[in-house]
Structure 1
């Protein structure tokens, strides 16, 4: 969290509170904080859509643009308030003066920075964690699958990116065999990798079937770190996308 908050007044009950947006981890390792607008009116959230729940922010360290969760805060009256964010992009550092170029170094693999978790306090946080983890694995264009040809999952949520389809069960129930097989069949149809996340683990039948199909299973811990539950998940976490 940032150290300085911005005042947010609830338009429903007029209660005012301070809000500090969270810092999200860019793939370069630098923290990215959505630039909330100081003094702008917050908007009550009455319905959700992928476009409204995410905001594009440019990393000030490397200049990479990525989608991050739209800042929101809960009010004591029960309203959920969406905090406006500045839409102008943050310019990356400019180039320095020209200098003689040294010989090109031998390319060496650059290890991924450590995954930076965001604590899970709600079902939406669980879906956000799955999206952040997929992005950390190397799937940069993670989005909601509802609007695409992959369609809506029978239960839970689906995320998709180039080369992957992920099923996320963000509720208190374990992900079932049906959840797993539906996601796997959809991924097979689109010739992409299937990955499954669950906040409350998977049923034994789902775990057994995942082992047969080679589907990576991750349990989302409350600290925001997905835990690999099978060999396929260990392999994916080690190699990335």
Structure 2
């Protein structure tokens, strides 16, 4: 089967065009495993997350061992979470993708998301990459989700299957203002369009946490922060 490195993705909600590159995962034998993307099929919006549907079993092309990997997903800036189709979920994947174009930002360690605890771990690791090494559970419990805090920073992680609302974004912003801190929002399910508008107006960075444990920036404040990570 031909190697699939990256595919063009068009969001069915806003018609925005994106480029998605298949992530590479380490097999237990040490060889990289990449998911075979289908560039001819349309992406599927994820409306209701069902955990057992979020994983695919693929064999390592080097040792032949089967492994479970997160299905590839892409967060559109409009707030829609897109599932990228695969050519054949039962096929042997090709070796890891090759880097092309401009130099990529430093890779994050993979933390596949199986539970809320995994989501917290991935978020904390990302915040450390942004220079915040003192992350802890927030003293003040948020109305929804999981609150995290560090020196000069407040973060909200929502591991639920519901898209964030404007009220969620505004509550986080108010909490941060009260503590004279910067705030960040991490969501597994994405953001409603009006929540994205509120975040843009208030300057709240929004991140979509995909099943590989990689926070993807979905607005300009998040892009600016992501560019600073080490």
- Which residue of 2 is the match for residue 162 of structure 1? 151
**Residue 208 of structure 1: CA displacement?**
0.4
TM-score computed with the length of structure 1 as normaliser: 0.51
**Residue 114 of structure 1: CA displacement?**
2.8
Separation of aligned partners in 1, 2:195 and 2:123: 19
| Among 109, 118, 122, the residue aligned to 2:115 | 122
Separation of aligned partners in 2, 1:214 and 1:114: 26
Matched, 1:213 2:202: yes
* 1:2/1:143 CA distance change after superposition, 3 Å: farther
> What secondary structure is seen at the aligned counterpart in 1 of 2:191?
coil
CA deviation vs aligned residue, 1:70-126 (integer Å, no higher than 9, x gap): xxxxxxxxxxxxxxxxxxxxxxxxxxxxxxxxxxxxxxxxxx853212100112211
> Could you tell me whether the CA contact under 8 Å between 1:124 and 1:170 is conserved in 2?
no
* 1:158/1:180 CA distance change after superposition, 3 Å: same
Separation of aligned partners in 2, 1:2 and 1:239: 30
- Asked which structure has the greater CA Rg, the reply is 1
Runs of 4+ in 1 over 3 A off after TM superposition: none
TM-score computed with the length of structure 2 as normaliser: 0.53
> Could you tell me whether the CA contact under 8 Å between 1:120 and 1:223 is conserved in 2?
yes
> What secondary structure is seen at the aligned counterpart in 2 of 1:235?
helix
Q: Which runs of 5+ in 1 are unaligned?
A: 4-111
- Which residue of 2 is the match for residue 226 of structure 1? 215
Matched, 1:197 2:190: no
Separation of aligned partners in 1, 2:229 and 2:182: 12
> What secondary structure is seen at the aligned counterpart in 1 of 2:216?
strand
> Could you tell me whether the CA contact under 8 Å between 1:127 and 1:168 is conserved in 2?
yes
- Which residue of 2 is the match for residue 172 of structure 1? 161
**Residue 206 of structure 1: CA displacement?**
0.9
**Residue 132 of structure 1: CA displacement?**
1.2
**Residue 2 of structure 1: CA displacement?**
11
- Which residue of 2 is the match for residue 236 of structure 1? 225
- Which residue of 2 is the match for residue 106 of structure 1? none
> Could you tell me whether the CA contact under 8 Å between 1:218 and 1:226 is conserved in 2?
yes
- Which residue of 2 is the match for residue 71 of structure 1? none
CA deviation vs aligned residue, 1:8-63 (integer Å, no higher than 9, x gap): xxxxxxxxxxxxxxxxxxxxxxxxxxxxxxxxxxxxxxxxxxxxxxxxxxxxxxxx
**Residue 237 of structure 1: CA displacement?**
0.7
> What secondary structure is seen at the aligned counterpart in 2 of 1:166?
strand
Q: Which runs of 5+ in 2 are unaligned?
A: 1-25, 29-104
| Among 118, 126, 136, the residue aligned to 1:133 | 126
Separation of aligned partners in 1, 2:198 and 2:142: 18
**Residue 240 of structure 1: CA displacement?**
3.9
Separation of aligned partners in 1, 2:212 and 2:226: 18
